[in-house]
Amino acid sequence: MYDFFLKKKNKELLSKNIYLRYPIIDDWKEWAELRQKSKNFLQPWEPQWPKNFLTKNSFNFFINDNYRMSENNSGYNFFIFHYKKDILMGGISLTNLRFGAYQSVNMGYWMGKDFSGKGYMQEAIKCICNFCFKDLQINRIEAACIPRNIVSKRVLISSGFAIEGFARKYLKINGKFEDHILFAKLKKKN
């Protein structure tokens, strides 16, 4: 159904200041440098990184996993790039993509420390929502964040996501299970 996405590795979702692109193996060095530079900034909000997380081998597994997800239409990963500078700033993922009666997907994201708080993630979320609602034809995008992650909570709310609930010990983050606020955004009716 979405094989075009892999066959055109340069497929982009464009916005004013950013573009989203499917990650390719050539992105490894830039990705590893950005993640390493932002490690202390990101680690409180993410699953614990394995020891080999930033290696080219690990990144290759990530690329292959993305390929399998998209082949099965179960998810997609995008990297977020600055439009004018053409530099990697972060990433956004769509997982657990479900069609049929569900028509929903889970969204996750991260932004490098130097690019956080500048509106880029809101722009990326707007792009990904358009992709989900128009291209994938789904009805619902779900996201979650740790209650003390005020920045993430603010980004989701300002991007049109509504709080729907609270999940105790929802995800293992930085080595321990953390409670999360559950958010969703629904496709607007025409």
pLDDT digits (tens, 9 = 90+) for 52-105: 999 999 999 999 999 899 888 899 999 999 989 999 999 999 999 999 899 999
Identity of the residue numbered 111: M
CA distance 147 to 1: 37
Q: Quick one: average pLDDT of 118-129? A: 95
Q: How confident is the model at residue 19 (pLDDT cuts 50, 70, 90)?
A: very high
CA distance 62 to 57: 9
pLDDT at 13 over 80: no
Q: Give residue limits of the domains in the chain.
A: 4-142
Q: How confident is the model at residue 10 (pLDDT cuts 50, 70, 90)?
A: very low
pLDDT at 6 over 90: no
pLDDT at 14 over 90: no
pLDDT of res. 11: 61
In the chain, % of residues over pLDDT 70: 94
pLDDT of res. 190: 62
CA distance 161 to 95: 17
The CATH superfamily holding the domain 4-142 is Gcn5-related N-acetyltransferase (GNAT) (3.40.630.30)
**Residue 128: DSSP 8-state:** H
Mean pLDDT of all residues belonging to the chain: 90
pLDDT at 44 over 70: yes
Distant-in-sequence contacts of 100-104, Cβ < 8 A, 24+ apart: 102/140, 103/137, 103/138, 103/139, 103/140, 104/138, 104/139, 104/140, 104/141, 104/142
